[in-house]
């Protein structure tokens, strides 16, 4: 079984700031699927890049920055990049390929849907008849031409925003988001709640919102509800 989880670009107006919320959301609601125990209470999972991900220019470093946000929360659900060579590229979203063997998890760079719309996604597989994750794959859309693979400010496009192509897509922030799906969060926090998903660089803007606002760097680090809900899922 596969589910497609992604973030999409959106042009969003800036809202006024509000009070910072202090409590996490229901873990049972947001984490319908989980990793099972591998070794005692540990839920450590291994991953690799596929050979489609560029080896220079910050691509791999930003993917690691993303996963480190979740690892550093310190729950039993930890991701370990295994050494050795890359996986030959594969795409579990391709019906011809489908889910690989359990435990084969990867990050790849490849076609999703052309420029715009979905800019990255995570595909998950489950053990048949269970809610236990068997493997995942994150894909960075190679059709996007404006990824910011550095650690500096992601351009917001100035006066015209993303409309004239001047904004950037922050790879670190988007990888933090996709790894949130990879740890098992299958739903998004809601845009309708101004305390959780107001667009822009507001400090209370959660990483696990459905839409990414071009030029934003806010998603690089987890907001308290992102980490709090994660802790609830993996106490």
What residues line the site for Zn ion (CB under 5 A)? 7, 196, 225
In angstroms, the CA 176 to CA 183 distance is 11
**Least distance from C-beta 126 to Zn ion, angstroms?**
18
Dig out the tokens for 3 from the structure: 């589910």
Closest CA relative to residue 182, chosen from 67, 65, 52, 37: 67
Question: Angle at which helices 171-182 and 59-71 pack, to 10 degrees?
Answer: 50
Whichever of 96 and 192 has its CB closer to Zn ion, that residue is: 192
**Least distance from C-beta 223 to Zn ion, angstroms?**
7
Whichever of 134 and 196 has its CB closer to Zn ion, that residue is: 196
Whichever of 138 and 167 has its CB closer to Zn ion, that residue is: 138
**Least distance from C-beta 79 to Zn ion, angstroms?**
17
**Least distance from C-beta 189 to Zn ion, angstroms?**
6
Whichever of 17 and 38 has its CB closer to Zn ion, that residue is: 17
Whichever of 48 and 181 has its CB closer to Zn ion, that residue is: 181
Whichever of 21 and 166 has its CB closer to Zn ion, that residue is: 21
**Least distance from C-beta 23 to Zn ion, angstroms?**
8
**Least distance from C-beta 51 to Zn ion, angstroms?**
25
- 3-state SS string for the chain: CEEEEEEEEECCCCCCCCCCCCCCCCHHHHCCCECCCCECCECCEEEEEECCCCCCCCHHHHHHHHHHHHHCCCCCCCEEECCCCCECCCCCCCCCCCCCCCCCCEEEEECCCCCCCEEEEEEEEECCCCCEEEEEEEEEECCCCCEECCCCCCCECHHHHHHHCCECEEHHHHHHHHHHHHCCCCCCECCCCCCCCCCCCCCCCCCCECEEECCCCHHHCCCHHHHHHHHHHCC
Whichever of 22 and 41 has its CB closer to Zn ion, that residue is: 22
**Least distance from C-beta 25 to Zn ion, angstroms?**
5
Chain residue at closest Cβ approach to Zn ion: 225
């Amino acid at each position: 079984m596969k589910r497609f989880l992604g973030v999409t670009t959106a042009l969003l107006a800036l809202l006024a700031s509000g009070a910072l919320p202090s409590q996490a959301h229901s873990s049972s609601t947001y984490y319908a699927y989980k990793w099972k125990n591998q070794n005692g209470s540990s839920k450590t999972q291994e991953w690799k890049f596929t050979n489609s991900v560029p080896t220079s220019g910050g691509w791999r470093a930003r993917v690691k920055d993303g996963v480190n946000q979740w690892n550093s929360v310190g729950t039993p659900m930890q991701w370990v990049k295994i050494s050795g060579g890359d996986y030959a590229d594969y795409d579990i979203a391709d019906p011809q390929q489908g889910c690989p063997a359990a435990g084969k998890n990867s990050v790849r760079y490849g076609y999703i849907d052309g420029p715009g719309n979905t800019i990255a996604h995570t595909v998950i597989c489950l053990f048949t008849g269970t809610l236990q994750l068997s493997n995942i794959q994150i894909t960075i859309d190679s059709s996007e031409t404006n990824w910011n693979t550095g650690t500096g400010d992601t351009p917001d496009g100035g006066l015209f925003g993303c409309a004239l192509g001047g904004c950037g897509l922050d790879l670190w922030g988007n990888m933090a988001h996709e790894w949130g799906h990879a740890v098992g969060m299958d739903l998004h926090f809601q845009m309708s709640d101004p305390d959780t998903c107001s667009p822009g660089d507001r400090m209370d803007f959660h990483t696990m919102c459905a839409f990414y606002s071009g030029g934003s760097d806010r998603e690089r680090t987890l907001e308290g509800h992102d980490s709090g809900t994660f802790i609830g899922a993996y106490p």
